[in-house]
Structure 1
């Protein structure tokens, strides 16, 4: 994943698909690789584009998105106007990670995508699972990790507090600017590796957002901002 999680959008309404694509592209770490307007196109696009996440409608002109769902070997979120219990249960039974009812706003989808990104980051840095990681991954995916870990019962370390203060100060002084791990390290007085470790943990907790800055060559630079 050099330029973010590749996302395929499946919706028979081109204007809706375009709108949803703009929502996705506004979330750091995600990029839209294609759009399919029916079930057949969806399967063809999946095999040719190999997305890691598909945003799939239930109502398609040549079939049901629920039938497409069980043929996709990747992560899937359902975005649909299908508000019946049967569709929801079938979607979850067949492996959908989320079910978002249309119409919805940009932030509604953004929250699901950020939760998905935290879930993926947590698993990708875990060499071997234990039950705590399993539960944290599940909470991240459901979007409950932030509330669970940022409750008053959890006391942050002095280094975490200093990092959050540095991010807050940068955002206040520069109108929302994000900092790199090196910039955080210099402000807090720790090594870059230490800052990176704490920033990754805070991102997994949902306290910090990761933004990607793309240059002309090489890997994108990770920059960090305190979640508002």
Structure 2
């Protein structure tokens, strides 16, 4: 889909990179670009493809991923087996938004990506940020650390949330029909609820292969 976050995976192990690309493609709102295996190819791909997010390994054959990181002007999350504290400190000092230690599960990467999506949506809101909004955006980058907004919900937002039944998933069009609003309105409120962690987003492929976003209440 045109509004998907485009993700470039930089990993010299082809099989691992392919697996991680499959993980990315399974997350609603994300699209994996063709992985690359070297720092030089990563620079070329970033220049030509303009990804929204780079998933970067530390160990690359032609350079350290940590050295590459400081050259990048793109959001980056480290995916690496480098577990020493020095590498982790350098990664965050040089601007990494997250750090996942290999091996990790599809769910762990999914949570990291969904946290990134919340972060991007929070920073895409019009107007200047206040301190509370800035702190919410920072917290949203930490999987599982989303704190519901303290602001009261509007009547429409509450109706959208109330329309979701536990254990069920709905499309934006189905939610719109249940609430009695337009699909665009339902989509907007569902995205806001996802930002607060009140709603989960999943991806389902139909018979045509076109992915559909499905919304539901988080599993306790």
Q: TM-score range with shorter-chain normalisation?
A: 0.7 to 0.9
1:226 aligns with 2:217: yes
**Deviation at 1:51?**
0.7
- How many Å separate the matches in 1 of 2:128 and 2:202? 27
Residue 149 of structure 1 corresponds to 148
Q: 1:157 to 1:34 in 2, by over 3 A?
A: same
Q: 1:145 to 1:50 in 2, by over 3 A?
A: same
- Find the residue that maps to 1:108 and give its secondary structure: helix
**Deviation at 1:163?**
2.8
- How many Å separate the matches in 2 of 1:190 and 1:7? 33
Residue 110 of structure 1 corresponds to 110
- How many Å separate the matches in 1 of 2:157 and 2:215? 13
- What root-mean-square deviation, in Å, do the aligned CA atoms of Structure 1 and Structure 2 show? 2.8
**What whole-Å deviation, never above 9, does each CA across 1:162-220 have from its counterpart, x for those lacking one?**
43342226x54xxxx4221x4323323456565444323211111213457899xxxx8
- How many Å separate the matches in 2 of 1:111 and 1:13? 23
- Maintained 8 Å contact 1:3/1:31: no
1:2-151 mapped onto 2 (5 Å cutoff): 2-146=2-146, 148-149=147-148
Name the structure with the higher helix share: 1
Q: 1:155 to 1:16 in 2, by over 3 A?
A: same
Q: 1:190 to 1:36 in 2, by over 3 A?
A: closer
60-69 or 33-42, larger mean C-alpha shift: 33-42
**Deviation at 1:3?**
3.9
User: What stretches of structure 1 of length at least 5 have no aligned partner?
Assistant: none
1:185 aligns with 2:200: no
2:191 aligned residue (171, 186, 200): 200
Residue 161 of structure 2 corresponds to 164
**Deviation at 1:144?**
4.9
- Find the residue that maps to 1:63 and give its secondary structure: coil
Aligned residues: 216
**Deviation at 1:161?**
5.2
- Maintained 8 Å contact 1:118/1:204: yes
